[in-house]
Structure 1
Amino acid sequence: MRTLLPTSPHTPHLCILSIYSATPLRGFVVQGSNGEYAYLSREERLEVVRKVREVVPKDKLLIAGSGCESTQATVKMTLEMADAGAEAVLVVTPCYYKGRMNSPALIHHYTEVADASPVPVILYSVPANTGLDLPVDAVVTLAQHPNIIGIKDSGGDVTRMGLIIHKTRHLGFQVLSGSAGFLLAGYSVGAVGGVCALANVLGPQLCELERLCLSGRWQEARELQYRLIEPNAAVTRRFGIPGLKRGMEWFGYHGGHCRSPLLPLTGQEEKELRTVFTDNGWL
């Protein structure tokens, strides 16, 4: 599975999706963290998926985020996302009552969703946003479900990723790096691809990194990975979605406005973000 691409949260611009579709990206992730799904209504979330499905070529995979806080709501959203054209769903961990989101609770939640889903389910662990890491023992148990095919792990703990791969590879379970900052590290321990915010800005470069890794050209891959670490951190942890959207504009894409309460970058923040991309040779 090649590197995947999270899309913009708002109604997609057809020409921009055409540009993305021309890259070697395997497909698109819609309504992930960078899709601002937490700030969109149910109707908006579904409409974005429908619009993307209308214009994305059939040879590109379309994955939609369907996670909600309750199991009942997640099952309903999963069914609706599949009906809207998603070929698989990405299900984030419920986290509001994180103190009770232990392995038994999460196994029950994902099992109920996977049993009901007409399309394959991908687990989604993003502790920076949820404050909750999907436990390894829960992942290993869920990997045995015939309709749970993989995990997007955004935690950045490569030893954890390696352990999950070691314990599940005989099942055909696929691990995806959840950030471009450790994409090379993920490939080195057996990840099959990535779902990366930075792919919205530097998609061809991430595809090149994958090509270098898979062809065993590790020194070249390391040099490229080094130049992606700071820009990736800038559009994720440091400046977040406002930074990602601004970067997209610089590279000829359409980032659009943030959904309130997110605010656009200040002038100083934009200057700092541009310096990061310039210093690493991208601008």
Structure 2
Amino acid sequence: MSKKASLIPLLLATGAALAQNSVVIPNGYENNPGTSAFLGPIHSQSRTNQFIIHESQLTSIVGQDITAIAFRLPASATDAWPLVEFSFFAYEIYLSDGVNPADRQFNFFANVVGPRTIVRSGPLVVTPFSFSVGAAPNDFGPAIEFNDPWTYAGGNLIVEVFHTGHEQGFRNNDAVGTSEPGYLTEFANIWQGTGANPVQGNFSIIKLITEGGALTCPPDLNGDGVVDADDFFLFLQLFAAGDMRADFNNDGVIDADDFFAFLNAFAQGC
């Protein structure tokens, strides 16, 4: 009973929630821990990080709106974080087209191609234990929602994150080292602290969350990145209500064919 009740908000929502996708960069680390760590996007000291991403890493989200970003703790982390709620006074994110990672310079603006758009500004509240541990890799932390979505039309992408730091101590995130395959060809990172000039750094493993386009994992109906009972019960609700989102085979009719098509996709997972 409680399982079905939890789906009511989804059924009342628009279809947009069913079209939520995500991509993990670098692509090979969605289900694998990073080879290193980095004191950057969730560190206690003020940082600017510029992630330069080759278009080959982003083919699954062309034409979709990027709406949020997430980071995760490294495999070496032993305790969930943070212990108490805290806020970054300012947490800003900028998106733009960019140069190839191989052509990156140690100059934030030189790596940007075309307009540089601020998609998030203002404080960021981090709730207790929202970054978990105990998995390999660890689950991604909370989605950092954008104020304004940004449509990815293809090409190389720049994700620039600036924050003012916090008082909850040093905290690194999962990352890929600079000597790993793909660094400077598929992805790169430069960063700057409170002084000096930008320098090279490990590439933080990031998840970009998008909306629009076709689902990359059709049986993941609620778009949470996991195929589980929530998706199964959601499909049953849609099917019983005659909602066209239950037309799983897209033939214009909701019937037993859709039910068995969903069961087959659900059993296979993604």
State if a TM-score over 0.5 links the two structures: no
Structure with greater helix percent: 1
Q: Which structure features the higher share of strand residues?
A: 2
- Relative contact order, CA 8 A, sep 6+: which one is greater? 2
Q: TM-score, normalised by structure 1?
A: 0.28
